Structure 1
């Protein structure tokens, strides 16, 4: 019967222990936890009075009461509070264990035994609150009129471990908050942040880059007409005098034939008038007019011959011929002066960079550039800015860009015209604040209108 009663009591204790531990961990803050420890522990253990103390100094340990049971405020004028603190201070060098320690009159130092009557209860028990890392953060003092059993001391030890763990969590956050929100620390953080934001760095920006020919010879349409054939291929090396384009020559050839026949007729008329002038005075007056007609016909013949000679477009220099789709050009009518091709000197290349307007920064001629081509993105090519466009131009994709040109400081013979990639242009030295907030500040200025 007695065993069954004992089992029934045990079955109630352990759920209460688990609930008490859970409630302790769910305390809102450190103050609430302290109040919980000295008052709510009664749900599991019977005692008349409890005092919670915190460690104020180490080496040696010194304790200070922070909460007593049955009261919302701690009155430090109570002699008993100071006496308990003195007892724990005297035991701190020898009592750093986790097991609860019963406080016995005869085991206290002589000066503390004289004030034993201050304790109104006969059986005080003290347990240290130690973190998992072994750090002592406080102690719990509980006392009552009857002796403590081994089972109760086990529960006290278990609760002390739980309370220490919860206390350590709040203490860590409280120390961080106190450090972060203190005026001195805020001042230090502000100074460090200001110093960090004033660190000088080299401003840089990114743009789209393409390898193009340097100083190419532009081939333009010499006459109006329709392209009949193109005997060369894009990126082919051509020699000086080699045919590049042939026009449809039907109209120019017919025109030349007509004006040539007109010249023959004019010459025949001049000859006739000249012969008649020896016999007819009237014919002498027509000689000057006939000569003018011959001269005009000759000019027309020469012009038609020049146009006919231009139906074949020849290369003015040796180099690499550059143009777009050959099939798209054949059969297309072109106007005189229209850009058709380029002849690039082999090995003379440069970079053309399209820099978006929103990415524009302050840089000058000679600014360093890093070129990362898509064909070899892991290696960069060093270059320098040689020309800066002052006017933004629209490019496909409805984007406004500045055209920047740069030349490599390295050998470029291994590059090919048309290769693309990314260019990183380095500008003036600015502070980190400007580097990070340039775009947000520009967007804010545009938004507010200043």
Structure 2
């Protein structure tokens, strides 16, 4: 009995003198043999699994023995106090392998999240169980005392660090969240298939007979050119034609008596025909100074006062006639944003008159070169055809177009313009 007490005191002093938790674990599974004889011992933790094996310097976590022990400890993890057990206390699948790994009898000593197990061929007696329970309590206290202490400041730092990591991960996720890139541009409802009305000849616009956006019918007069110059030329041509006709008739009568006059008849006849053709040409041009509508529709042009007295050349556009409902979208994209627009992209037009009823279209034409707009800005003209199921907005309605592009990260969508502006000044 005295020897047992001395062994207990010696083992207890060694455990209390240990400097690291691993030293306590070594004493618990290897040197406890001096107090109570056993064949095998294991120290296990819920957090780390098998920590120490008796007679082994290193624990091989993937070995069959350690894997089997992990399943056994999973069953014993709910014990509240010391408990002796055998293969009969385990499920059949584990009991069949008991003989391969452990002796016949084992004793489990739970230690608040950890557990000591001793095994030997003979059953453990009550006194032995009491001594080993006392030893397990000592091992638990020593290991807790040697574990790194976590102060309130350390916990706050860990909490702040964890919070920082969570915020950083969340921010990264938000920054990389895929969104559809888009650009905004002023737009309006433009004629899809207009008929262009051009100046039929060189001249000066005398007056416009219709107003912008007036409804016109086919054959209705739209504008007229100044007829003063043509009328004067026509009067002169008619006078010259009359003179040529008179000379021709005089020569025709004189050739009966004068052989020389016969040679002049053909020349004078050609001259009279030339003046006649000139008169017909001028009469035709004079008839064309009143330009008429080639179809029914809406007259599309600018302020008529800008055209009064303006010289025009043949083929110059004066106005257009378009169907009020045959429309498409015309948008003006800034030069900095045109790279985001592609043919076939989706376009949504938000009309100023109906902002809650967007009109959907598809981009069909993107102007290669930027051109000047009436407001003196430079932009690229974009044409988009309306979807077949869309209600055609009335000609001339204005609004804002959103043109969708490729899917991009949110951070690129937010900072693309600031970065482009920065490059203009910094150069990188």
Please give the TM-score of this superposition, normalised by the length of structure 2: 0.58
Are residues 390 and 304 of structure 1, via their aligned partners in 2, closer, same or farther at CA, if it must alter by over 3 Å? same
Q: For 2:362, which of 384, 392, 395 is the aligned residue?
A: 384
Q: Distance in 2 between matches of 1:306 and 1:217?
A: 23
* Pairing of 1:53-92 with structure 2 (within 5 A): none
CA-CA distance at 1:213 after TM superposition: 1.1
Please say if residues 227 and 329 of structure 1, whose CA atoms lie closer than 8 Å, have aligned partners that are also in contact: yes
Q: Which residue of 1 aligns with 2:275?
A: 297
Q: Which residue of 2 aligns with 1:267?
A: 245
Does the residue aligned with 1:358 lie in a helix, a strand or coil?
coil
Q: Distance in 2 between matches of 1:271 and 1:354?
A: 68
CA-CA distance at 1:380 after TM superposition: 1.1
Q: Which moves more between the two structures, 346-355 or 274-283?
A: 274-283
Q: Distance in 1 between matches of 2:386 and 2:322?
A: 17
Q: Deviations 1:192-227 (Å, cap 9, x if unpaired)?
A: 544433332211010000111112111112233343
Q: For 2:213, which of 235, 240, 244 is the aligned residue?
A: 235
* Pairing of 1:18-417 with structure 2 (within 5 A): 178-180=158-160, 182=161, 190-409=168-387, 415-417=393-395
Q: Deviations 1:168-210 (Å, cap 9, x if unpaired)?
A: xxx79x8665444x4x766665555444333322110100001
Q: Deviations 1:4-27 (Å, cap 9, x if unpaired)?
A: xxxxxxxxxxxxxxxxxxxxxxxx
Q: Which moves more between the two structures, 256-265 or 278-287?
A: 278-287
CA-CA distance at 1:413 after TM superposition: 5.7
Please say if residues 234 and 321 of structure 1, whose CA atoms lie closer than 8 Å, have aligned partners that are also in contact: yes
RMSD: 2.8
Are residues 413 and 229 of structure 1, via their aligned partners in 2, closer, same or farther at CA, if it must alter by over 3 Å? farther
Please say if residues 360 and 390 of structure 2, whose CA atoms lie closer than 8 Å, have aligned partners that are also in contact: no
Q: Distance in 2 between matches of 1:187 and 1:261?
A: 101
Are residues 191 and 270 of structure 1, via their aligned partners in 2, closer, same or farther at CA, if it must alter by over 3 Å? same
Please say if residues 205 and 361 of structure 1, whose CA atoms lie closer than 8 Å, have aligned partners that are also in contact: no
Does the residue aligned with 2:181 lie in a helix, a strand or coil?
strand
Q: Distance in 2 between matches of 1:175 and 1:292?
A: 117
Q: Distance in 2 between matches of 1:439 and 1:414?
A: 33
Please say if residues 237 and 279 of structure 2, whose CA atoms lie closer than 8 Å, have aligned partners that are also in contact: yes
Does the residue aligned with 2:349 lie in a helix, a strand or coil?
strand
- State the 4+ residue runs in structure 1 displaced beyond 6 angstroms: none
Please say if residues 183 and 340 of structure 2, whose CA atoms lie closer than 8 Å, have aligned partners that are also in contact: no
CA-CA distance at 1:239 after TM superposition: 1.7
CA-CA distance at 1:404 after TM superposition: 0.4
Does the residue aligned with 1:437 lie in a helix, a strand or coil?
helix
Q: Distance in 1 between matches of 2:177 and 2:248?
A: 92
Q: Distance in 2 between matches of 1:317 and 1:176?
A: 82
Are residues 189 and 412 of structure 1, via their aligned partners in 2, closer, same or farther at CA, if it must alter by over 3 Å? closer
Q: For 1:439, which of 408, 417, 425 is the aligned residue?
A: 417
Q: Distance in 2 between matches of 1:177 and 1:395?
A: 60
Q: Deviations 1:407-442 (Å, cap 9, x if unpaired)?
A: 221566662222111000001122223222222332
CA-CA distance at 1:342 after TM superposition: 0.9
Q: Distance in 2 between matches of 1:176 and 1:225?
A: 89
Which segments of 5 or more consecutive residues in structure 2 lack a partner in the other structure?
1-150
Q: Distance in 2 between matches of 1:291 and 1:448?
A: 82
Does the residue aligned with 1:294 lie in a helix, a strand or coil?
helix
Q: Deviations 1:116-152 (Å, cap 9, x if unpaired)?
A: xxxxxxxxxxxxxxxxxxxxxx9xxxxxxxxxxxxxx
Which segments of 5 or more consecutive residues in structure 1 lack a partner in the other structure?
1-137, 139-170
CA-CA distance at 1:328 after TM superposition: 4.1
